[in-house]
A and B are shown apart, each in its own frame.
Chain A
Amino acid sequence: MIMARLLETEKLTIHFGGLAAVNEVDFTIDQGETVGLIGPNGSGKTTFFNLLTGIYKPTGGEIRYCGKDLVGLPTFKIAKQGVARTFQNNRLFLNLSVLDNVLIGMHPQQDSNWFDAIFRRSYVEREIEQGVEKGLELLSQFSEGLLTNCYQRAGDLPQADRRKVEICRALASNPKLLLLDEPSAGMSPAETEELMEDIRKVRQKVGEIGIIIIEHDMAVIRKVADRVIVLNYGRKIAEGTFHEISDNELVLEAYLGREEKDAQA
């Protein structure tokens, strides 16, 4: 089965002053593929996500998503086309309940407006009912604990659960492309193991979804990524399967430094 091209960037570049945070990166992802994005700190991984979601406007290059040009579109329109993401430092709506967080994730598919809210109550109630049903189902797939505590304030959850809620919230919009920004940050090995299981579940349930995952934990990358792309100083320095990458000299150099230099110093 040939999967269609989901997203493609060509010479994607952004300059902050004199610094090219992302520099001429060519990137592709197909439907149903999981791509790992790795690189040392400050190599431009999160900036790359911010470019894809429209938070930053690129200074050069192109982003094509399902054949359409995304450059210059506002963030919310990109999200409406099916690009969902999580954040490196966890941006849940902390004072709202777990379930409300997931309901907000469904915003792009719902369509009731202020007039409906005031005058067409039955329509709004049906919408909420369907949303709640779907939200509870999503939560139950991730963890029973979240399901029973679905009215808890999201800010009171432990870190690992927050990650899960964030992923649920992103999935609630039925995205075609899911961007995960360091989902295992701050998690214990056992929690990370559980997270990988969750990602696999998503994979099984929504087969055609494309996932781009930024990760520092190489165990995660090895297990979930079909293909790995390595960034360093904003440039793509390597691409391939995890095996190919781990033998790549440029990659080792980026992570560990060059040997001769160490010797001289």
Chain B
Amino acid sequence: MLPRTIGRAVILLAVEAFFFILFAAFMKTYETGKVIAFLLFFIGLGVMFKEWEKARLALTGLFKEMKILAGAGFVAMLLTLPFIFQSSPYLIHICVMAGLFAILALGLNFQLGSTNVVNFATAASYGIGAYASALLAVHFHISFWLGLLVGGSLASLFGLLLGIPCMKTKDYYLSLVTIAFGLIIYILLNNFSWTGGPNGIPNIPPPSLFGHSFKEPLSLFGYQLPFQSNYYYLIFLLVGGSLVVAHRLHHSRVGLTWNAIREDEIAARCHGIDVTWYKILAFCIDAFFGGVAGTVYSHYIGFISPENFAFIVSVVVVTMVILGGMDNVFGVIIGAILLTILPEKFRAFEDFRVLIYGLIVVTMLMFRPQGLFPQKMRIYKKES
């Protein structure tokens, strides 16, 4: 049996490596024509995967059988990414941004995906986290690591404050309240003098760890990696943590309860579910994720202004969740990555960005409302 197992492991890693190399090559392509060719190739692969049942079953079976190896291989390959993009910090920057949006989308997924609360105030919690930690760092020299917690908690508190009036409304009206909240935060940030008004906050100090400032290039195994790599590894850890939290919440009484509320609120009430509390909980957890992402963003870029937290950011995150898959943790991350990388690859069409987001939402809701990766049934292990 052993040689067979090793053979299967090799096949699995080869498949992973193939996709990883494809991804890296795609990231390194800049001409629009080649990008489109790559995309068509990916779509072709996807269609083939869907139609060729034998291959699909074989592959999914393989991945299920060697879950741990598949995960480890995936993580190892992602960790080498800064080495591959060593000469082009811009690509690492895109990856960092993709990670930040993945955290935002994972947070929003608790509401939009699990509970069906359409919250358009992601930008607000993102901004609150960013401003809170930036102000603390600039005025009180509080370290980034503490700011991370403070930013998240403060955003969570604002999530609670937003959640309470939202509970008086439902559906579209609730979304309107969240839109209003996002605009209020945006306008306040623009008009307060202590937030720097439209000029924002410059010179936010970068975080440092064991005396190593994140502004310095990272030396690993004799390689000199651009400073963005520091943030890449930080974001890698944070996305990993968010993933674990999201997964754990999904596979618990809380996640199940959120789903019940999404499916049928009245039936949920009749089964002893305190709908109000669980919705507010989703608001708070979402906002915490937003606050954390905001904190990292402000220290990474070193400069924030209200424009970074405008309404469009919320729309983008909503689009990510809808595209990736409602309440599928993995799908949501894919959605975030796709919608961060693709706009960068199509810089030539930048003026049409918002139009394309709109098209994506409408197309998805019409033809595949469950997203690219739909929610899977929870399977509970049976002892046998």
> Is B264 at the interface (CB under 8 A from chain A)?
yes
Which residues 165-208 of A sit at the B interface, judged by CB distance below 8 A? 169-170, 173
Interface with A: B54-62, B244-252, B335-343, which one?
B244-252
Chain A 141-171: CB-based contact to B (< 8 A → 1; otherwise 0)? 0000000000101000000000000000110
- The verdict on B275 contacting chain A, using a C-beta distance below 8 Å, is yes
B254 part of interface (Cβ distance < 8 Å): yes
Is B320 close to A, CB under 8 A? Answer: no
Cβ of A97 < 8 Å from any Cβ of B? yes
Q: Is the CB of B274 within 8 A of A76?
A: yes
B271 in contact with A108 (CB, 8 Å) = yes
- Quick one: which of A55, A100, A173 contacts B271, CB cutoff 8 A? A173
Given A95-B375, A112-B253, A76 contacting B266 (CB threshold 8 A): no
Q: Is the pair B271, A118 in contact by a Cβ cutoff of 8 Å?
A: no
Cross-chain contact of A107 among B248, B272, B377 (Cβ < 8 A): B272
Most buried by A among B253, B254, B257, B263: B253
B266–A114 touching, CB < 8 Å:
no
Q: Is the CB of B252 within 8 A of A117?
A: yes
A104 touches B254 (CB 8 A): no
Check A53–B260 contact: CB distance below 8 A.
Answer: no
Q: Which of A8-16, A60-68, A80-88 contacts B (4 or more CB under 8 A)?
A: A80-88
Residues of A within 8 A of B375 (CB): 95
- Does the CB pair A118–B248 fall under 8 Å? yes
Tell me if B271 and A169 are in contact (CB < 8 A): yes
Taking the complex as formed, is B317 at the interface, i.e. its CB lies under 8 A from any CB of chain A?
no
In the complex, what residues of B have CB within 8 A of residue A107's CB?
253, 257, 260, 271-273
Q: Do A116 and B271 touch across chains, with their CB atoms under 8 A apart? A: no
Known contacts A100-B378, A104-B260; A93 and B267 CB within 8 A of each other: yes
A182 to B257, CA, bound (A): 26
Nearest B residue (CB) for A155: B263
CA distance A173 to B382 in the complex (A): 22
Tell me, in angstroms, the Cα distance from A117 to B382 when the chains sit together: 20
Q: Which of A53, A103, A113, A151 is the one whose CB lies under 8 Å from B270?
A: A53
CB contact list, A113-136 vs B, under 8 A: 113-114, 116-118, 121, 124, 127-129, 132
Roughly how many angstroms separate A63 CA and B286 CA in the complex, as a whole number? 40
Does A252 count as interface, using CB distance less than 8 angstroms? no
- With a cutoff of 8 Å between Cβ atoms, the chain B residues found around residue A114 in the complex are 249, 254, 281, 285
User: Nearest Cβ distance between residue A144 and chain B, in whole angstroms?
Assistant: 16
**A75 contacts chain B at the CB level, 8 A cutoff:** yes
Contact with A along B354-384 (1 / 0, CB 8 A): 0000000000000000000001011110100
A91 to B269, CA, bound (A): 12
Q: Closest residue of chain B to A98, judged by CB?
A: B377
A79 at the interface (CB under 8 A from B): yes
CB atoms of A127 and B270 under 8 A apart:
no
Measured between beta carbons, the chain B residues less than 8 angstroms from A118 are 245, 248-249
Query: Which of B256, B270, B382 is A79 in contact with, Cβ under 8 Å?
Result: B270
A110-B253, A117-B249 known; A85 and B260 CB under 8 Å? Answer: no
Is B259's CB within 8 Å of the partner chain A? yes
Known A-B contacts A151-B377, A151-B379; the reply to A104 vs B268 at CB < 8 A is yes
* Residues of A close to B378: CB separation below 8 A: 97, 99-100
B291: CB under 8 A from chain A?
Answer: no
* Given A79-B272, A93-B259, A124-B253, A55:B266 Cβ within 8 A: yes
Instruction: Pull 27 A–B residue pairs with CB atoms less than 8 Å apart, ordered by A.
Output: A55-B269, A75-B266, A75-B269, A76-B275, A79-B270, A79-B273, A91-B267, A92-B263, A93-B259, A93-B264, A93-B267, A94-B263, A94-B264, A97-B377, A100-B377, A104-B271, A107-B257, A107-B260, A114-B285, A117-B248, A117-B249, A117-B255, A118-B249, A128-B252, A128-B253, A132-B380, A173-B272
Knowing that A96-B377, A97-B377 are A-B contacts, what are 4 other residue pairs whose CB atoms are under 8 Å apart, sorted by A's residue number? A91-B267, A113-B253, A127-B253, A151-B377
Which 3 pairs, one residue from A and one from B, show the smallest C-beta to C-beta distance?
A117-B252, A108-B272, A93-B263
Binding site for A on B (CB under 8 A): 245, 248-249, 251-257, 259-260, 263-264, 266-275, 281, 285, 375, 377-380, 382
